[in-house]
Amino acid sequence: MAEDRLRELRNELDEINDDLLSLLSKRADIVQRIGQIKQARGMLTFDPEREKEQLDHLVQQNPGPFSDGAIRHLFKQIFQVSLGLQEEQRKLLVSRSRTTVDTVVSVKGIEIGGGKPIVVAGPCSVETPEQMEKVGAELQAQGILVMRGGAFKPRTSPYDFQGLGEPGLRMLKQIGQKYGMAVVSEIVSPNDVEMAIQYVDMIQVGARNMQNFELLKAVGSTRVPVLLKRGLSATIEELIYAAEYIASRGNEKIVLCERGIRTYEKATRNTLDISAVPILKQETHLPVLVDVTHSTGRKDIMTPVAKAALAVGADGVMVEVHPDPTVALSDAKQQMNFAEFESFMAELRQSHMIPDLEA
Ligand code: PEP
Ligand code: MN
C-alpha cells in the first residue's frame, strides 16, 4: 500500500517536473526576446535593480514551505542561467556572425581589406625632416600608399628616445602630403586623440595599449580609421574585445594587426602567431595586417614571413624602413635600409603576393 502511494507521489512529481521544465523553457524564450531588445538599445544584460525587484516580489508571494532564503537562492540560479543565455546570443559588432561581407577600411581613399594586399611602410620613429624626406621619396618610388612613423614611442626604458610628439606628427603629415601617401601613427594617450586627428589619416593603437580601454573609447568616438595591434600577451579573444570597445563607440573602421606575442622562444623578437590571421578573419569581419618587423625583429627572414602572412590571408603587411637604420633612434637593428626594402618589395611582387607597381 505504502509502495503504491510512493509511486503515485513520484509520478505526480515527475509531472510537475515536466511542467516546470516547460515553464522554464517558455521563460527562456521570453528572456531571449528581452535580450534582443536590450542589445538593440545598447543596454547591459545584467540589471541589478530589476533582479532585486523580482526577488522581493517572489519572497512576498512565498506561500512556504520553502524559506525566503531558499526561494531567493532558487530564483537567483534561474536568473543567472537566463543572463548566460542573453550573453550567449549577444553578437559582438565586430563578429563574423553579424555579416558575411568583409569590412573594407578606407584610409584617405586607400582600401585595406578590399582584396588588394597593401604594404604599410615607414620608419619606427619620425626623427628629422631630412630622414622623412628621404623615406617619403623612397616609399613613393616603391608604390607605397600608406606610410607609418612613430611620434609617441612607448619605449621600455624611460631614458630611450620617446618620440617627437606633435611636431613629429606634423612632419609625417607634410611628407605624406608631398608624396601622396596616407599616414598612420601611434597615439598613446586618450588626451592626444583630438590633436592627432588633425595630422594622421589612421590612428595606431600599439601593442602596449591594446587594453588601454580609455584610449580605445577615445578612438572609438572618432570616425578616423584605427590600426589596432595585438597586445604582447593578449589572446585573440582579448584582441577581438578590444576591437569591440572601438566599434561599440560607433567607429567600425578598424584594422587588426598581428605583431607577434611573447613566448619562451628567443630566436625572434616575438613569436608571430600566424594562425591568428585566419582565425581573426573567421571570427571577425575586419581586415587583418601582419607587422613583420616587430614580430620577427629579424631582417633576414622578413620576406618569407611576409609571404607566409599574405598566404594565410592577411590583407597586408607592415614593415619598418629607415634611410640609415644603424643610426635610427629606435629599433635600429630591425629596420630595413632602402636596398633591403627594395628587394623585399621586388620579391613580393615577383611572387604576385602584392600588385605590380603599375597596377
Ligand atoms: C610600432 O609599430 O611602432 C610599435 C611600437 O609596435 P608594437 O606596438 O606592435 O610594439
Ligand atoms: Mn619599431
Assess contact for 150 and 318: CB atoms under 8 A.
Answer: no
pLDDT, mean of each 10-residue run, the chain (359 residues): 92 98 97 92 90 97 96 97 90 92 98 96 98 98 98 95 97 98 98 98 98 98 98 98 96 98 98 98 98 97 98 98 96 96 98 84
| 294 Cα–ligand 2 center, Å | 6
Assess contact for 176 and 188: CB atoms under 8 A.
Answer: no
| 287 Cα–ligand 1 center, Å | 18
Query: What is the model's pLDDT at position 251?
Result: 98
Ligand number nearest CA of 239 is: 1
Query: What is the model's pLDDT at position 242?
Result: 98
Query: What is the model's pLDDT at position 329?
Result: 95
Rounded-to-integer distance, Cα 85 and Cα 66, Å = 27
Query: What is the model's pLDDT at position 42?
Result: 81
Testing ligand 1's pocket by substitution, the residue of 127, 169, 200, 291 carrying the most ligand atoms inside 8 A of its CB is: 291
Give the 3-state secondary structure of residue 126. coil
Ligand number nearest CA of 208 is: 1
- Ion ligand 2: residues, CB within 5 A, are 124, 331
For residue 206, the number of C-alpha atoms closer than 13 Å in the C-beta half-sphere is 17
Query: What is the model's pLDDT at position 110?
Result: 97
Query: What is the model's pLDDT at position 40?
Result: 84
Q: What is the DSSP code string of 82-96?
A: HHHHHHHH---TTBG
ipTM given for this complex: 0.99
- Rg for the chain, CA atoms, rounded: 27
pTM: 0.87
